[in-house]
Structure formats: structure tokens, C-alpha cells
Amino acid sequence: MNYIARLIMMLLSVCIMGVCVSLLVMTSFGPDPCSALNYGMAELTGLSFGTYQACFNIVLFVFVFLCDRSLLGPGSFGNMILVGYAADFTTWFVGQILGITEVVSLTARIVMLLVVLLIFVVAAAIYMNSGLGTAPYDALVFLIHRHLCKKTKKEIPFKVVRISYDALITVIAFLIGGEVGVMTVLMIVLLGPTIELVGKQMAKLQHKEV
């Protein structure tokens, strides 16, 4: 797949991720840990979710850039900007244009959760397998993992670092009143492996087509 096609797929996938984040919040089951934290901080600072997420990611971007710029790329910028503002637009559109501010029915919320979560995972897998760089939030995990292995002189499993990282973010999000739900907690353990599995299946399908 050429660069332009991968770039377009990346941009579409991060926008879809933003839409999904907004809808996951509406289910009251909670979004991913990073989004849960940023929703809480946006509320505290009086900024929109998209604006706070962009500011948060810019800070992380500078840090990662200074440590290892090879982890960054166009996909990093796409995630930094588009996910948050796509979520803001979706929240505005659903609330102000469609007039839906919450989903009351538990059955409807569960169905909505399953559908939206599936779309979110596929979109995230496409984004992460685009080869155009990772989000600063995710890139930071690689830096922490590398530092811990070097410091302890042991090969620490990456998933242990990732789970610990997301768990800490979730706890902070909960303490500041972020959008933490049951799904946020489950995502700490399940999101990474699920996205990796979907990514591998997508790679196999692409290989067969070639």
C-alpha cells in the first residue's frame, strides 16, 4: 500500500476513533484510560475535550521527540489533533442536532457499547498498523519500558509496563472525576492484546490479497 493510501486510512481511522470515544462516554461504560483522564482534566480546566487533549499530547510529543523522534510521525499528529476534536464534534452533533444527550435503556447502551467498541478496536488497529508513527501517549510507554529494562538490566515484559501505565492513568482519571467506567477498567488489560490480534488478522488478509 502506498504512502498516500496509508495516510488517508490513518486520518479516517483516527477520526472514527474520536467518534467512538464520544459514543463510549454516552454509554456510561467509559472510554479508554487516556480519554477518561483527558475528559476529567478538560472538565477541571474548563477546556473542551479536544483542546485539552491536543495540549496534553503536545507536551508528551515534545518529551518523546527529545528522547526518540523515531517513534513519531504523521500518525502522531493525526492522533493528537483529530481524535479529540472528532469526539467534540460528535458530542455536539448528537446532543444539539439529534437532541440525544444520554442513552437511558440498559439494553440499548450494551448494544451500542459492543458495536462502538468493535469499530473503535478496528480503527485503532488500522491506525497503529499504518506505519506512520504512534500517539505520544503510546510512544511514552515504549520509552518507559526501555528505561526500566536498562535500569533493572532485566527484560521486563512490555505488556506488564503497558498495563501498569494504563492502570495508573485510570486511577488518576477516577480521582479527578474523569469518565471512568467498567469498560475503562477492562480496557487496561484487554485493549492492547485485542488491537494486536485484530492488527495481525488484518495483516494476514492484506498478505492474501497481495
pLDDT in tens, 131-189: 888 899 989 998 999 999 999 988 888 888 889 999 999 999 999 999 999 999 998 88
Q: Does the model's pTM come out above 0.75?
A: yes
Contact 60, 67 (CB under 8 A): no
Please provide the DSSP assignment of 31-63 as one string.
--HHHHHHHHHHHHHT--HHHHHHHHHHHHHHH
179 touches 31 (CB < 8 A):
yes
Q: Mean pLDDT throughout 50-64?
A: 95
The upper half-sphere exposure of residue 42, i.e. CA atoms within 13 Å in the direction of its Cβ, equals: 22
Query: 117-126 pLDDT, tens per residue?
Result: 989 988 888 8
DSSP state of 29: S
